[in-house]
A and B are shown apart, each in its own frame.
Chain A
Amino acid sequence: MQPFVHLHVHSQYSFLDGADTCSTLVARAAECGMSAIAITDHNNVSAAVELSKAAAKYGIKPIHGVEVSMSDGSHLTLLAQNPEGYANICRMLTEAHMSSPRREPRTNMETLTKYTEGVMALSGCNRRGKIPSLVTSSRFEDAKDTAENLTSIFGKENFYIELEHSLAPRALSLNAALAELAQEIGVGTVATNNVHYANKPRFEVHDALTCVRTLTTLDDIHPERRINAENYLKSADEMSELFAKYPEALANTNEIADKCSPGLDLSLRLFPKYQTPKGLSSAEYLVRLTREGAIAQYGKITPVIENRLSHELSIITALGFEDYFLVVWDIAQWAQSQGIRYAGRGSAADSAVAYCLKLTNVDSIARGLLFERFMSLERAQKPDIDIDFESERRDDVADYIYRKYGDGHVASVCTFNTFQARSAVRDFGKALGFPPNDIDRIANILPHVPADAVRSALQRYPEARSEEIPKWQYELLFELCESVAGFPRHIGTHLGGLVISDQPLTCVTPLQMSAKGVAITQFDKNAIEDLGLIKLDILSLRTLSAVEHTVDMVRASGKGHDDFDYNGIPLDDDDTYKMLNSGETIGLFQLESPAQRALQTRLGADNIEDIVASVALIRPGPIQGNMVEPFIARRSGAEEIAYIHPKLEPILKKTYGVVLYQEQVIEIATTIAGFTPGEADRLRKAMTHFRSMREMEDIGRNFVAKAVANGVSPDVAETIFSYIVGYAGYGFCEAHAAAFADTAYKTAYLARHYPSEFYAALLSAQPMGFYPARTLLVEAKRRGVEALPLDINHSKEKYSVEGTALRVGFMQVSGISSDLIHEILHARQDDGPFMSTLDFLCRIKANKTVVENLVLAGAFDSTDPNRKALFWNLGRLAEVAASHRTAIDAKKTSGQASLLDIKQTSAEVRKAIPSPYHSSDVSDAFRLPAAPQAYSGYSVVNLPDFSDWEKFKHETSVLGFCASRHAMEFFRPALMREGVWDSRKISSADQGQIVRVAGLVVRPHRPPTKSGKTVVFLSLEDEYGLTDVTVFDDVYQRQGAAIFKSPALIVTGTISRRGNGISVIAKSIESLGEKCNR
């Protein structure tokens, strides 16, 4: 067998042009006994890290390459001979991406010439390579010129004519001509197969993906589609047979592979060194800042604090991450200096150093948090400090980082948007030529599940079954969806991840422009760290923007809270805890979901620890692990708290003997079994990523053996381990919970004491949180906050507070731009309130649709209360206004009057125009001196106004809700006749009582359950608040289809009271619309 290496291979990162993963391709090459493999995706090296890792796993050599698109559209295959070559490919790709329209990167000859060091070139595939294309067109001399040009650029030793024989028509003659050309100019030939999938059967997936890429259907003909299934990773024997006439082309694959060494060095560390004050090393400076911070946070440094800080600092410096801490500290400092609100989250809150540097708000020493959950010598992983910044200022923080470290040294981390159920159904549905309605029908009922769960989702959910989809027709569709589950579909931008590099980033990653207009890497957050870079999570949290807005409004309220200090909010406010105990948590950070509201009504929280536990408890893991009930029972004293070993008490005391936090597992392993912190964290990771029973048993044996050696009896050790096994995968990071709990409690305090300001701010920060704006408005009203409608003379950009009421802001109006809002506000400020709609139109040049939306939203009710008549006459009013503006402009241009005169005249004229709806003689009133003819004949049509229902519908379509009326108010009389209760009345119902309740469906969801059965939780919203409804599997399977399809439901069920909470267990469900139609 002639040895052979594939040098032209496309992976999944050729986006819709590669039907197998890089790892699968490497595995296939290894299976074929090949010594190396190159990955050459289109215009990116995103597979580079995966290639290096997979190649190491299978013991073959990775060759990093790319297939670039040239400015004439032709393709050229490039291979990195070494790290310098790889870096040159990165630089070349960056230039190609940055100098071309997005998604159409093109490399020109000039760029190519600049970056040839360490790079080899192959002439490209038969279809798109320039040389084969010219030969196919019988332009032999041009082909020869091109080949000679490339030879002069790369050198004879580094340029090869690619021969491809994928059993396509005319390949034989083309290869013969190409081989002759190669001989003529004295360069080598190389055999490739332009691989796009590992095995022949995957051709179908590739063909369907090609249809997705080219927006065609399978029945269409398109030049990008392959004629056959021959572009798979063929064995050396198969390639030898195909290229029997060209032994040199086969041999050269090995020669090239021998010339190439891996392009990636995964041992690099590229994080920048922080510029410390003169004479101080990074470590010394970090120690100084930490000690200064400790004194600021604690008042003085006690031995306990000293020991803890020393311990942490020794690990940070031993692992060489002091610059990372300093860089993050610098960013936080800058944010603080700019008044940008931020809060650290995640396991970084386990660090006392992070607390002293004010990167987090969690005092890890006081909480007894384990630093090793965050960093440990044994684990030696890169630390990950995630910081939330208020969303409106997050980009300012990113700008600061770009300014400080330079454009070429900072970039956003990319994400790969992968095929999910809905996207796969839509893409392949189109490719298979399904009617758009059929595709919508399936896609819309699919929950957010992976692409390989389409089939099971349609079997599981009754709302899908009820559609009577003929599943046999969709079999191919489902197979295709399954075949691409998890495949990247396109590249995107990570929400908060930035990388900073000491060297120019293009040494290790190409950069390209994202849709957002920022430079992104070609590696995602996992791969980027393997390149020696550290990702900084500069996250955007709308809650913090809402907090900032609340604080501003509270301070400006004129109610004596000028010096209100958010950070000084007392953590023991009785009123706040009482509110939490009643489950009134809608809008509160992390505490607002139905499950959280139910928990709060039973938990009886009376201190911040309860809030920390709450944040950790309502997660899929603890819920599935059935940890919630024991926790509540033990906390309330209904269940005895017992510790199987006295050493467990100090560890589990704060969670009443329940293993709730990941840090507790680490502590148990260290205390009971004498594990080192690093070993214990490995145990924690192994268990939270529980993969196999065998692995678990191995860990168990080790734990028990070590515990016994540590003086614990075997029985007790085994029981303790069984607790940990029971915990596997369920626990939550305590530090993260504590960081979130701080914000959660403080938002509760704001809601309790400043509801108008808080809900106005929350509504201004939409979309965020669990509920839509409409629900938040109902909640604000339930708390006694009046909702004032949009008003052209009173509304501000955001929601605002007037006394104890909140006012809808202009931002809520569909289609309105920020510029127009500012124009309106400035006009109001400069020239006084708008006296009529016409006055508004004279002063503000706005697009017709937006003005219509303002009218329909009732913004002009205070000047022109008949919305229908106003809407009808809007076109004519706009003409009048335009003429008025023309007249004013003419005056300005002719210089007949000073600006002040014009302003005064304009104001007088506008005053002379009364609202047509307040005047019986409008035609005279509209005669302006500047251009009297323009208004002759103007008259308004008098129409009766819209009905309340019409107004409601218009407002809802423009604003997303109606501030003055709730949809259920219109149904209330009929519902009362039917004996349907409202949410206020429900609160007085008895346990087990049968009730009927109706409302708009809010956030129906199906969290995972331990039994695997489906339980749907939803809320019904009416004009007074929410009623929580639980739908168990039997009812759901029978009648659940309506839940996800009907906007409003009537539910009959029994009252369930638990703690202070109340919910309805559904017995039957009907669509309110269907009921009304009947």
Chain B
Amino acid sequence: MSKRIWAQVRVIEAQNGAPAQFYWSNRWNRVTGIVDSWRESGEWWDGEEEKSYYLVSLASGGCYELCREAPGQWVLSRVLD
């Protein structure tokens, strides 16, 4: 099961640009693993920018999908059970 969130979040990036921590539920969440990552070009013909997605796992056990819409602009797109 997953829940769509699509809310802007603050993210601390690792050197390779992947999320290292993100602020959600009034706390910083440390990423312990990148489960998957991919890019989407979106509707390029409408001027949409390329987005990077990361499916990350936390030490607490949760799995979160983060989307970098633009440099420094992150969105928490989904939370997975």
| Chain B contacts with A in 27-81, Cβ cutoff 8 A | 34-41, 43-45, 50, 53
**Are B45 and A228 touching (Cβ within 8 A)?**
no
Q: Is A207 an interface residue (CB 8 A)?
A: yes
**Are A228 and B36 touching (Cβ within 8 A)?**
no
Q: Is A268 an interface residue (CB 8 A)?
A: no
Q: Chain A 432-452, CB within 8 Å of chain B: the 1/0 string?
A: 100000000000000000000
Contact of A169 with B36 at beta-carbon distance under 8 Å, contacts A228-B50, A229-B50 already known:
yes
Kindly list chain A residues whose C-beta atoms are within 8 Å of the C-beta of B35.
172
Q: Is A318 an interface residue (CB 8 A)?
A: no
**Are A167 and B44 touching (Cβ within 8 A)?**
no
- Determine how close the nearest CB of chain A comes to the CB of B50; give it in whole angstroms: 7
**Are B45 and A169 touching (Cβ within 8 A)?**
no
Nearest opposing residue in chain A for B44, CB measure = A204
- Determine how close the nearest CB of chain A comes to the CB of B63; give it in whole angstroms: 13
**Are A168 and B41 touching (Cβ within 8 A)?**
no
**Are A227 and B41 touching (Cβ within 8 A)?**
yes
Once the chains are docked, how many angstroms separate the CA of A182 from the CA of B81? 32
Once the chains are docked, how many angstroms separate the CA of A226 from the CA of B42? 10
**Are A227 and B39 touching (Cβ within 8 A)?**
yes
Kindly list chain B residues whose C-beta atoms are within 8 Å of the C-beta of A432.
45
Nearest opposing residue in chain A for B51, CB measure = A228
Contact of A168 with B38 at beta-carbon distance under 8 Å, contacts A228-B50, A229-B50 already known:
yes
- Determine how close the nearest CB of chain B comes to the CB of A587; give it in whole angstroms: 51
- Determine how close the nearest CB of chain A comes to the CB of B60; give it in whole angstroms: 22
**Are B40 and A228 touching (Cβ within 8 A)?**
yes
Kindly list chain A residues whose C-beta atoms are within 8 Å of the C-beta of B39.
167, 227-230
- Determine how close the nearest CB of chain A comes to the CB of B37; give it in whole angstroms: 7
Contact of A167 with B50 at beta-carbon distance under 8 Å, contacts A218-B45, A476-B45 already known:
no
Q: Chain A 449-491, CB within 8 Å of chain B: the 1/0 string?
A: 0000000000000000000000000001000000000000000
Interface centre among A219, A228, A230, A432 (most CB of B within 10 A): A228
Nearest opposing residue in chain B for A228, CB measure = B39
- Determine how close the nearest CB of chain B comes to the CB of A24; give it in whole angstroms: 21
Kindly list chain B residues whose C-beta atoms are within 8 Å of the C-beta of A172.
34-37
- Determine how close the nearest CB of chain B comes to the CB of A196; give it in whole angstroms: 13
Q: Is A173 an interface residue (CB 8 A)?
A: yes
Q: Is A171 an interface residue (CB 8 A)?
A: yes
**Are B36 and A167 touching (Cβ within 8 A)?**
no
Q: Is A694 an interface residue (CB 8 A)?
A: no
Query: Chain A interface residue count: which class?
Result: 10 to 19
Contact of A204 with B45 at beta-carbon distance under 8 Å, contacts A228-B50, A229-B50 already known:
yes
Q: Is A160 an interface residue (CB 8 A)?
A: no
Q: Specify the main secondary structure of chain A where it touches its partner.
A: loop
**Are A170 and B41 touching (Cβ within 8 A)?**
no
- Determine how close the nearest CB of chain B comes to the CB of A19; give it in whole angstroms: 14
**Are A227 and B40 touching (Cβ within 8 A)?**
yes
**Are B38 and A169 touching (Cβ within 8 A)?**
yes
**Are B38 and A167 touching (Cβ within 8 A)?**
yes
Kindly list chain A residues whose C-beta atoms are within 8 Å of the C-beta of B50.
228-229
Once the chains are docked, how many angstroms separate the CA of A203 from the CA of B44? 10
Kindly list chain A residues whose C-beta atoms are within 8 Å of the C-beta of B44.
203-204, 207, 229
Contact residue among A171, A173, A219, A229 (Cβ-Cβ distance under 8 Å from B41): A229
Once the chains are docked, how many angstroms separate the CA of A207 from the CA of B45? 10
Contact residue among A170, A207, A230, A476 (Cβ-Cβ distance under 8 Å from B36): A170
Once the chains are docked, how many angstroms separate the CA of A1028 from the CA of B50? 58
Kindly list chain B residues whose C-beta atoms are within 8 Å of the C-beta of A207.
41, 44
Kindly list chain B residues whose C-beta atoms are within 8 Å of the C-beta of A167.
37-39
Once the chains are docked, how many angstroms separate the CA of A227 from the CA of B45? 14
| Chain A contacts with B in 216-245, Cβ cutoff 8 A | 218-219, 226-230
Q: Chain A 401-432, CB within 8 Å of chain B: the 1/0 string?
A: 00000000000000000000000000000001
Q: Chain A 188-226, CB within 8 Å of chain B: the 1/0 string?
A: 000000000000000110010000000000110000001
- Determine how close the nearest CB of chain A comes to the CB of B41; give it in whole angstroms: 5
- Determine how close the nearest CB of chain B comes to the CB of A295; give it in whole angstroms: 72
- Determine how close the nearest CB of chain A comes to the CB of B47; give it in whole angstroms: 11
Kindly list chain B residues whose C-beta atoms are within 8 Å of the C-beta of A204.
44-45
Once the chains are docked, how many angstroms separate the CA of A476 from the CA of B43? 13
Nearest opposing residue in chain A for B45, CB measure = A218
Kindly list chain B residues whose C-beta atoms are within 8 Å of the C-beta of A227.
38-41
Once the chains are docked, how many angstroms separate the CA of A695 from the CA of B38? 51
Contact residue among B34, B41, B43, B53 (Cβ-Cβ distance under 8 Å from A203): B41
Kindly list chain B residues whose C-beta atoms are within 8 Å of the C-beta of A203.
41, 44
Kindly list chain A residues whose C-beta atoms are within 8 Å of the C-beta of B45.
204, 218, 432, 476
- Determine how close the nearest CB of chain A comes to the CB of B51; give it in whole angstroms: 9
Contact residue among B36, B40, B43 (Cβ-Cβ distance under 8 Å from A173): B36
Q: Chain A 357-377, CB within 8 Å of chain B: the 1/0 string?
A: 000000000000000000000
Once the chains are docked, how many angstroms separate the CA of A168 from the CA of B36? 9
| Chain B contacts with A in 5-22, Cβ cutoff 8 A | none
- Determine how close the nearest CB of chain B comes to the CB of A210; give it in whole angstroms: 12
- Determine how close the nearest CB of chain B comes to the CB of A483; give it in whole angstroms: 13
| Chain A contacts with B in 154-178, Cβ cutoff 8 A | 167-173
Once the chains are docked, how many angstroms separate the CA of A432 from the CA of B45? 9
Once the chains are docked, how many angstroms separate the CA of A692 from the CA of B45? 38
- Determine how close the nearest CB of chain B comes to the CB of A173; give it in whole angstroms: 7
**Are B41 and A228 touching (Cβ within 8 A)?**
yes
Once the chains are docked, how many angstroms separate the CA of A656 from the CA of B72? 77
Interface centre among A167, A219, A476 (most CB of B within 10 A): A167
8 A/B residue pairs, CB under 8 Å, sorted by A: A167-B37, A167-B39, A172-B37, A203-B44, A228-B38, A228-B40, A228-B41, A229-B44
A203-B41, A228-B50 given. 20 additional CB < 8 A pairs? A167-B37, A167-B39, A168-B38, A169-B53, A170-B36, A171-B36, A172-B35, A172-B37, A173-B36, A204-B44, A207-B44, A218-B43, A227-B38, A227-B39, A227-B40, A228-B38, A228-B39, A228-B40, A229-B50, A476-B45
- Which 7 A-B residue pairs are closest in the complex by CB-CB distance? A228-B39, A167-B39, A169-B38, A228-B41, A218-B45, A229-B41, A167-B38
